[in-house]
Amino acid sequence: MVLTLTTFLLTLLSIPLLQKLYTLFYNAFLHPLRTFPGPPYVWTDWYKCYNDVYLNRNWTDVLKELHEKYGDVVRVGANELHFSNPSVYNDLYSPTHRWDKDGALYRVFNQDESSFGYLTYREAKARKDILAPLFSHRATCEMQGIVKKHLDRMCEALGKREESSDMLFALRSFSLDCITTYCFAKDVHASSAEDFKHPLVEAMDAAVPAIRVLQYFNPWRKLVFGLPPWLAKLTDPNAGARVELQDMLLEQVKEFVEDPKRMEQTSNPTIYHRLLDPSNGPVPSLKSLHDEAMSLFFGGAESSGNVSMLGTWYILQNPSIESRLREELREAWPDLEDMPRLEDLEKLPYLTAVIKESLRLSPSVPVPLPRVVPPQGATLSNHPIPGGTIVGMSLRFVHQSEEIFPDPQTFNPDRWLGPDASSLNKWLVAFSKGPTNCIGQNLAMCELYMAFAALFRRFELVLDGTRSEDLTYSEGFLPFFNPRHMRAFCRPVEA
C-alpha cells in the first residue's frame, strides 16, 4: 500500500501526540508512584508550572492545600513526592544520605560545575571539601573584620540619611559587599549607592522572579543564558550590572589561573586560594571556577539581608522584644565605639534567640529541594519509595509546625530560651541539612549577629508607613518581596 503525502504527514504529526497520550496513560495507570495519593493533574507534569506561572501561586501554598486534602505524602508530579511530616525533613536531607540533586531545578541556574550546581553527591562533596576551610566557624571569626568593615559602611550610610531608608536593599547591600570581599577580595561598594539602590542589588532582585518562570522553559533559558553580554544588556536593562560582575569575576579567574602569584596581592584569602592550590587536587576548569564564583555570589548576596530585614520588622512590631534586645546589647556593648567581637555576640542569649526566630520565620529557600532516591529505593515516612523518585520537602512544613513551634506565626524569641530549647535546634532548618546544606552558614550567622546588634544598638528605628502587606513575598528559588519594601528612619543614638 502506498501512503499519500497527506496521510504520511498526518501520521508523522500524530506520533508526538500519541507519545504524549501514552505518557499520560503510563503516569496514570502504570507508573510506580500510581498508588500514592495526589491530584490527577500531576499525570501531565505541567501542574506545578500551571500554578507557578499561570495562576501565580506560591508552590508551598499549593503544597499545603494538597497535604490537607491527601495526607502527609502526596504525589505532586508524575515522578515526584512531597512530604509534610516534619520528622521526614531530617531523614530526607540526612547527613548519611548520598542522594543526588534533581537536574530539572538545579540546571536552571547555569552553574552546573559548582558546589551548588553539581548534581551528584560525589562531585559536590569533593568541591565542598576543598572550600570548607574558608567557610568554617574559625575562618569566619578570623575574617570578621571584613564583615565589620561593611557593617560600618552600611551604618554610616543609614545614619546620614534624613529620609527613611529601604531596609531590604540596605541589608542586602551589606550582604553583597561581604560576599564579594570574602570570596573574591573585590569590594563593589554596594552600600555606598543612593538609598542602597546599587545596580547589582537591583539586578539580583530582578533575577529571582525570572528563575520562577525560566525553570519550565529550557530552550528559552538556554537562549537567555547564552546571549552575548552586549545583547543581554540590550534586552534586559537589569542584566547590565550582573553581566559586568560576571565579566569581572571571569577576568579575575583568568588572571589567577595564568599567574597564580597574583593571588599573593589580594587583601584576604579568596576561594581561588583553595581551588587553585595544587595540593587540593587537579585545578578545576575555567568554567568550573567561574560557576563556583557565581554560585557563591548568588548564594551569599541576598538571604542574610532577607532574614535581617524580616527579623527587624518583627522586632519593631513588639516593643517588649525590642527593649529586651536593646537592654542586652547595651550591657554587652557599653562603648559605642567598641563593638564586641563575633565570639562575644554569639554568647548573648536574647540576641541569639532573636536570630533563630528570624531564621525560623523567614522564607530562606522556600521551595522543596528536590533529591533523587538512589536505584535501590528508600523508606521515608514508613513508605517504601522506588528508586529514581524525586523527593523533597519545603522547610515551611517544619518551621510552621504547630507541634514543634506552638503558635507558629508569632515571633517569639522566648521559645528558644526555655529549659527544653536546645532540643528545638534540630528543627531549625533554614540552612537545610545533610551533605548539601548551606556552605556559607557561618558567614551568614556572622552577618546576622553583627547586623542585628548594630541596628538595635546604634540606632533608634522608626518605620516609615510600612504595613505587613509590604512584607509579603513570592517564591522563586529564593523569595522575592513586594516592591514596596520595608522603610525605616534610622536615627543614630548618642551613646
Which residues sit at the interface with ligand HEM, rule CB under 6 A? 115-116, 124, 128, 135, 179, 295-296, 299-300, 303-304, 307, 364-365, 369, 430-432, 436-440, 443-444
In the numeric block, which cell numbers belong to residue 153? 559602611
Find residue 100's DSSP bridge partners.
372
* Length in residues, the chain: 495
DSSP for 68-137? HHH-SEEEEETTEEEE--HHHHHHHT-TT--PEEPHHHHGGGS-TTSTTT--SHHHHHHHHHHHGGGGSH
Amino acid making up residue 458: R
| Angstrom distance (rounded) from CA 419 to CA 400 | 21
Rounded CA-CA distance 204/445 in Å is 21
Q: Indicate the pairing of strand 459-463 with strand 100-101.
A: unpaired
The grid coordinates of residue 48 equal 506545578
Supply the minimum distance, in Å, between the C-beta of residue 106 and ligand HEM.
7
* DSSP tag of 487: E
Task: Report the alpha-carbon distance of residue 216 to residue 45 in Å, rounded.
Answer: 10
Q: How far is the CB of 13 from ligand HEM (least distance, A)?
A: 40
Closest approach of ligand HEM to the CB of residue 301, in Å? 8
- State the minimum distance, in angstroms, from the CB of residue 494 to ligand HEM: 31
Residue of minimal CB distance from ligand HEM? 440
- Which helix (H) or strand (E) covers residue 491, if one does? strand 487-492
Rounded to 10°, the helix 167-184/199-214 angle is: 90
The answer to whether the beta carbons of residues 437 and 94 sit under 8 Å apart is no
C-beta closer to ligand HEM: residue 38 or 77 = 77
> What burial letters (b/e) apply to 82-117, b meaning 16+ CB within 10 Å?
bbbbbbbbbbbbeeebebbbbebbbbbbbbbbbbbb
Residue 398 C-beta: closest distance to ligand HEM, Å:
12
Instruction: Specify the residue, 91 or 164, whose C-beta has the smaller distance to ligand HEM.
Output: 91
Q: How far is the CB of 407 from ligand HEM (least distance, A)?
A: 23
CB nearer to ligand HEM: give 11 or 267: 267
Q: Which is nearer to ligand HEM, 126 or 232 (CB)?
A: 126
* Residue placing its CB nearer to ligand HEM in the complex, 111 or 381: 111
Which residue number, 77 or 311, has a Cβ lying nearer to ligand HEM? 311
Q: Is 334 exposed, middle or buried (0-12, 13-18, 19+ CB in 10 A)?
A: exposed
Compute the least distance from the CB of residue 353 to ligand HEM, in Å: 16
Nearer to ligand HEM by Cβ, of 124 and 342: the residue is 124
Among residues 27 and 181, whose Cβ is nearest to ligand HEM? 181
Q: How far lies 480's CA from each of 198, 364, 474, in Å?
A: 17, 11, 5
- Whole-angstrom distance, CA of residue 90 vs CA of residue 346: 25
Taking the complex as a whole, the smallest distance from the CB of residue 186 to ligand HEM amounts, in Å, to 14
Of the candidates 495, 473, 461, the residue with the CA atom closest to the CA atom of residue 158: 461
**Residue 131 or residue 155: which is nearer to ligand HEM going by CB?**
131
Minimum Å gap between C-beta 369 and ligand HEM is 4
In the complex, what is the shortest distance from the CB of residue 372 to ligand HEM, in angstroms, rounded to a whole number? 13
Tell me which DSSP letter residue 383 carries: E
The least CB distance from residue 218 to ligand HEM, in Å, is: 19
Which lies closer to ligand HEM via its Cβ, residue 38 or residue 300? 300
Task: Give the residues across from 463 on adjacent strands.
Answer: 488
Cα–Cα distance, 208 to 290 (Å, whole number): 20
Closest CB to ligand HEM among 203 and 444? 444
